[in-house]
Structure 1
């Protein structure tokens, strides 16, 4: 029963996250407006004299004008999106391909698409009902004037759309958008985990009961789960639910994705209710999982360091954004357990620690940019900055990465001039790392 009740909410959530959400709403609004113009006519004697003067003598003979407006709008929409797809395909060669769909599905682009579709629908409805009742010519004339105004409005949106699409693929705009989206996702997660029932476990609690596995019924990316609903389900059977995946992982059908630690095995209906709390999303959703925003910034940096692009400036720009996000991640660690009101642990899940996250983000950049001294120095500067906000355990992790960066710089700097340049900047600035005053002796491979 709970599964049947939760299915519409999951469907609505998936629709809200799709590219068709805003265009569908706008097209519906335009359709309702066209119905008002056609089904609720107002006679001329009930309209002000000024509007009556603007009425056309034979509005039913304006089908040629409406047909021209309709054809122009269809051509405008086709041209707009064929051009922007061409621009985005070029952007896919410069950035990560994961960003292409995100750029075209941005809210401003959806608004423009919705107005285009709505104008086409409104004009089409006027063409479908050409007859005008006697004494209602002014009302239909106003609808025709409104169709012309809609087309002019779409022409202005066309200029805005072209400008916004061209700006959205700029390096600074892409990095800033990823940074802001990731930061918003991190803040949203932090806001959700404010109550005392959200905790960080040093050691996972164990009641001594047997763990009963619950297997996945479908394959896909498990982006999130309704943890409060899971906690209530666990409380009903007096057990603890342990999630065996990280949010954002790809799971296959039949994989044991979670287990119930309880005295008795769960019923099949209970397992179905548990599966209904899980949210599958195709691809990587930054709004659901902030780590994806960080990894996409890293992938943009790797793309910029590829031999075909060779743009270390973009990589350094992504490093700056990653440094800020990791600094915020150092200041707050996500919770990994949810307790009930009686203080009993009900749900536990896996959270990627800072050490793993730092390795995933920085080491690929260091590896692909190992021949570029500016990349090595950029990574080292980021580690210096993070050291000012780290506790002792995280500081040891940063120190290990800094030692590897120094080793990489020592191998890459073969000329004495390069070594002097790098050595002068190794221990520069305010930080808490232990760095040498000069590069160590270069070891030949």
Structure 2
């Protein structure tokens, strides 16, 4: 049970908490309540909350302090509602203009979460301080330090509101969306594929685990594979003296009817082992980018496809997506993409599954090509992108793959060119000339 929780469920929980709209704001609210309690306690111990007004610059009576805290609390909860409404509008705009798969990027945005948490936190702070104010003018307890701090927090919240308006306006632009997706994907590439390519990255035949009897392991639920605990897979295989072969990759759809892995052993594994192995996969209703490079590419492709649709018809956004796709594929071109088999002193233990470079290349460019017929600007950028990716590797096999893809793009570009000027620019690009400004995204 502990292994299942530590591998599958905890990984899924970590991803869910990071992309939730309640966890970080909830932590900020709790911290604000703690701050209120601490400052009120300080006031009681220092005697600064005595009923007399004193000569302090910000000292107020009980009625004034109570009214001030109530005003700030009411304003903060109102502004929090406005912030939430603006966020929902931004999410709807992004879903309509780009793709619904970028919504979790907005939900994961720390700026949005912090702003919402600040307003809710100040609201909770003022409520906690207000209930400690007793008596009326000249009598009772007024926590002067806590009240003054509440006023300061309100001013800080106003600054956060200005930041939020600017942040939302900037974050819904196509360039910012593509940049954020690419930055997350590059981090995943560097984490998962740190090794440079040496020869071919296909799994050798002698490492395929032949000669074993394979027992399928089905998923515990339906959904997309978010994460896989490779260390837990290796530990399981070593403990049971078996070979584990992944049948599904990160991002693939899983269901209780289809195997996600197989156990290679001479004797049939127990039901407990099957459930334990299935628990090492985190499965949910959506994909995440933490271990899934293909999902980052998928998002950029979806943005480009939405831009090329007749309803949007925004070639510049499509070119922007191709700019970042070219960067990602160039980084991948020089790396070993297929995960290496895991082994120990006794030999092969885990055969991971993952898309090869050919599959990622097809994912990045094929659908865009299908929707770019006659669009000279996008076709020229596709040709340039393939040339840029080709320059990122010295592998003859990948050069042949890229050359074949370039020939297909060239054939489509020549066949669908709308006029003689478009054909001239296409031939110039194929000849190696520098592309014009109309192939550059903004």
**Aligning the two structures, in what range does the TM-score lie when normalised by the shorter sequence?**
0.7 to 0.9
Number of the residue aligned with 2:389: 386
SS for the counterpart of 2:247 is strand
Q: Work out the CA distance in 2 between the residues paired with 1:340 and 1:355.
A: 26
Unmatched 5+ residue regions in structure 1? Answer: 431-445
| Structure 1 contact 337–345 (Cα < 8 Å) conserved | no
Deviation at 1:52, TM superposition (A): 6.3
Hey, what does 1:20 align to over in structure 2? Answer: 22
- Contact persistence 2:133–2:141 (CA under 8 A): no
Paired residues of 1:231 and 1:346 also in contact (CA < 8 A):
yes
Q: Are 1:336 and 2:347 counterparts?
A: no
Q: 1:268 to 1:367 in 2, by over 3 A?
A: same
Instruction: Report the 3-state secondary structure (helix = DSSP H, G, I; strand = E; otherwise coil) of the residue aligned with 2:268.
Output: coil
Q: Larger relative CO (CA 8 A, sep 6+): 1 or 2?
A: 2
Question: Corresponding residue for 1:154?
Answer: 157
How far off is 1:336 after superposition? 2.7
The corresponding residue for 2:439 is: none
Give the superposition deviation at 1:371. 1.3
Aligned residue number for residue 437 of structure 1: none
Partner residue in 2 for 1:419: 423
| Selected match of 1:408 from 412, 425, 440 | 412
SS at match of 1:245: coil
Relative to structure 1, is the Cα distance of residues 19 and 343 closer, same or farther in structure 2, using a 3 angstrom cutoff?
farther
- Map of 1:174-189 to 2, 5 A cutoff? 174-189=177-192
| Larger deviation, residues 85-94 vs 23-32 | 85-94
Cα offsets for 1:143-186 (capped at 9, x unmatched): 11111111111111000000001000112211111111110111
Q: Secondary structure at the match of 1:223?
A: strand
Segments of 5+ residues of structure 2 without an aligned counterpart are 435-442
Q: Please say if residues 12 and 282 of structure 2, whose CA atoms lie closer than 8 Å, have aligned partners that are also in contact.
A: no
Of 206, 214, 223, 1:220 maps to 223
Pairing partner for 2:363 from 360, 364, 372:
360
Name the counterpart of 1:252.
255
Aligned to 1:68, the other structure's residue is in SS state helix
Who is 1:300 aligned against?
Answer: 303
Q: Could you tell me whether the CA contact under 8 Å between 2:343 and 2:350 is conserved in 1?
A: no
Q: What's the CA shift for 1:137?
A: 4.5
Per-residue CA distance 1:376-419 (angstroms, 9 max, x = gap): 11111111222223411111111211111121112112533433
- Equivalent residues in 2 for 1:6-85, closer than 5 Å: 6=6, 9-10=10-11, 12-13=13-14, 14-39=16-41, 41-44=43-46, 53-54=56-57, 56=59, 58-59=61-62, 62-85=65-88
Q: TM-score scaled to structure 2, two decimals?
A: 0.88
Would you say the 8 A contact 1:217–1:254 is kept in 2? no
Per the alignment, do residues 62 and 398 of structure 1 end up closer, same or farther by CA in structure 2, a change over 3 Å counting? Answer: same
Instruction: State the SS of the aligned residue for 1:56.
Output: coil
Decide whether aligned partners of structure 1 residues 388 and 51 sit closer, same or farther in structure 2, where only a CA change above 3 A counts. farther
Residue 252 of structure 1 and its aligned partner are, at CA, apart by 1.5
Secondary structure in 1 matching 2:312: coil
Aligned-residue CA RMSD (Å): 2.8
2:401 corresponds to: 397
Specify whether residues 229 and 136 from structure 1 end up closer, same or farther in structure 2 by C-alpha distance, changes over 3 A only.
farther
User: 1:370, 1:408 within 8 Å by CA — same for their partners in 2?
Assistant: yes
Deviations 1:80-111 (A, max 9, x none): 22123223322322211211332243011111
Q: Which moved more, 1:369-378 or 1:333-342?
A: 333-342
Q: Spell out, residue by residue over 1:168-206, the C-alpha distance to the aligned partner (whole angstroms, 9 max, x if none).
A: 011221111111111011112235x79xxxx96223432
TM-score (norm 1): 0.87
Summarize the alignment of residues 158-173 of structure 1 with structure 2, pairs less than 5 Å apart: 158-173=161-176
The Cα of 1:420 is off from its aligned counterpart by 2.8
Partners of 1:44 and 1:137 within 8 A in 2:
no
The secondary structure found in structure 1 opposite 2:262 is strand
Distance 1:255 1:172 in 2: 39
Q: 1:52 to 1:37 in 2, by over 3 A?
A: farther
For 1:8 and 1:423, the matched residues in 2 are separated by 54
Partner of 1:435: none
Q: 1:4 to 1:51 in 2, by over 3 A?
A: farther
Post-superposition offset of 1:44: 4.6
Aligned to 1:2: 2
User: Quick check: 1:330–1:389 contact (8 Å CA) kept in 2?
Assistant: yes
Change (3 A) 1:337 1:265: farther
8 Å Cα contact 1:22/1:111 also seen in 2: yes
Aligned 8 A contact 2:36 2:128 in 1: yes
Task: Give the Cα–Cα distance (whole angstroms) in 2 for the partners of residues 420 and 212 of structure 1.
Answer: 58
Structure 1 residue 207: Cα displacement: 5.1
* 2-structure distance, mates of 1:279, 1:8: 6
Change (3 A) 1:62 1:236: same
